[in-house]
Amino acid sequence: MLKVKLRQGVVLAGLFTLAACGGAGSGSGNGSAAVEATPAVAAKVSGYTEAYNALIDTFGLPRTADEYKGEKIATRSASDNITISQGWIEAAEGKLKTARALPGALGELDAKAEALDNALLKVLARLGPLYGYYNTKAYRQDGLKRGKAEDAAMTAEFDAALKAMEDFNDALVQQRRAGVDAELARFKAAGDMVGYNNKQAMQQAEDLVMLFNKPEDLKDPAVFAKADAIVGPLEKLLTDQQKAIAEAKPKATEPLRKSQLGVYGLVSDMLGTMIGQYRQLKQSHSGNDMKSMVDSYNNAVGMANDIN
């Protein structure tokens, strides 16, 4: 099944405003209350963002779960060579725990973070001992008895954690998007059109890749029609961004600003690559081309996160 794993961008302190979906002071569909825009709140959301990115990284939860399930323990014998991985789940869980402890009450997002943390701790509590069991080949001693006895529970705990991760990401996206307009307004008020364009482009790029969540989406004309409606304005925005960067460079006197403009240019280029991969996807309807497109988006997020 096609699952899009998108990295989240870093939230900059002082540039982020959280509110309920209906606007500041209103209620939201999930019961979250408006959250005052403070550096502490922004720092907590950034902490959650960092934890989520670590969790979906190369050796994060999805890959670790997939590798475990790929061993198909229930069908194996003690004479087989069985290996599993612990991945980097423990490090990601540590980042999540640190973020949860930061000041600022974020309602639904905090609740989803707690549920995810608890699910990850259950995974780690079973996965660690099982890793030792398979790593030392102890399963050869007991005829794989313990491995088969714990297989269903380990699989269920992985699945529960993956679901909790998706729920957490949904809440994180909602909280982050509540502040987009305020952040764009701040860039515009400061006369920073490069930052303004970059923020808009990243938002549109996210909207594009999130259209493709299921295998059938790759062949659905209605989905591609929605994608085309995003790609046109995004491509124009990237052209505007290159002009804005070129105009800003002669005015940049500080090394930090010069470095920022260079990274903004790389982000724009990577999003252009993503558009090219979308057009390839439109012809091929291939899951591999979709993965390339998502990888380019994630690389752009990584670059944008490096802008200080």
Residue pair 139/78 in contact (Cβ under 8 Å)? The answer is yes
pLDDT interval class at 8 (50, 70, 90): low
Residue pair 169/161 in contact (Cβ under 8 Å)? The answer is no
How high is the mean pLDDT of the chain?
87
According to DSSP, residue 75 is labeled G
User: Is the predicted pLDDT of residue 25 greater than 70, yes or no?
Assistant: no
Burial class (CB in 10 A: 0-12, 13-18, 19+), 223: middle
With tokens 């014998």, the residue in question is: 77
CA 6 to mean position of chain CA atoms: 4
Q: What is the pLDDT of residues 127-154, one digit of tens each?
A: 999 999 999 999 999 999 999 999 999 9
pLDDT interval class at 20 (50, 70, 90): very low
Say what the pLDDT of residue 13 is.
Answer: 30
Phi-psi region of 143 (alpha: psi -120 to 50; beta: other; left: phi over 0): left
User: Is the predicted pLDDT of residue 115 greater than 50, yes or no?
Assistant: yes
User: Is the predicted pLDDT of residue 102 greater than 90, yes or no?
Assistant: yes
User: Is the predicted pLDDT of residue 22 greater than 80, yes or no?
Assistant: no
As a whole number of angstroms, the distance between CA 107 and CA 172 comes to: 11
As a whole number of angstroms, the distance between CA 206 and CA 225 comes to: 16
Q: What is the pLDDT of residues 157-202, one digit of tens each?
A: 999 999 999 999 989 988 887 777 778 888 999 999 999 999 999 9
User: Is the predicted pLDDT of residue 27 greater than 50, yes or no?
Assistant: no
As a whole number of angstroms, the distance between CA 159 and CA 157 comes to: 5
